[in-house]
């Protein structure tokens, strides 16, 4: 109930709306197109590195697509 109330507020709704546009598609792309569904390492630094490589791959694909135009 508390979450529902927070989401119905204008300020919180705007933040959540931005998140859906900015963040969610990147992780959806990682899962659907690159098959990245699990991390293969443990530990905060190693996870940070592996996720960084995955996100770098997404950015390189975007850059290649823009460069091809």
Q: pLDDT in tens for each of the 69 residues of the chain? A: 888 888 788 888 788 777 777 778 888 889 998 899 999 999 999 999 999 999 999 999 989 999 998
Return the H-helix or E-strand segment holding 23: none
The predicted structure's pLDDT at residue 67: 95
Residue 35 vs residues 14, 29, 61, 69: alpha-carbon distances, Å: 30, 9, 14, 26
Closest to 38 measured CA to CA, from 20, 26, 54: 54
pTM of the predicted model as reported, rounded to 2 decimal places: 0.65
């Amino acid at each position: 109930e508390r979450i529902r109330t927070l989401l119905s507020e204008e300020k919180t709704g705007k933040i959540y709306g931005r998140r859906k546009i900015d963040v969610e598609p990147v992780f959806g792309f990682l899962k659907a197109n690159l098959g990245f569904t699990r991390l293969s390492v443990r530990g905060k630094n190693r996870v940070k590195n592996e996720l960084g490589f995955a996100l770098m791959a997404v950015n390189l694909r975007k850059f290649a697509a823009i460069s091809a135009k």
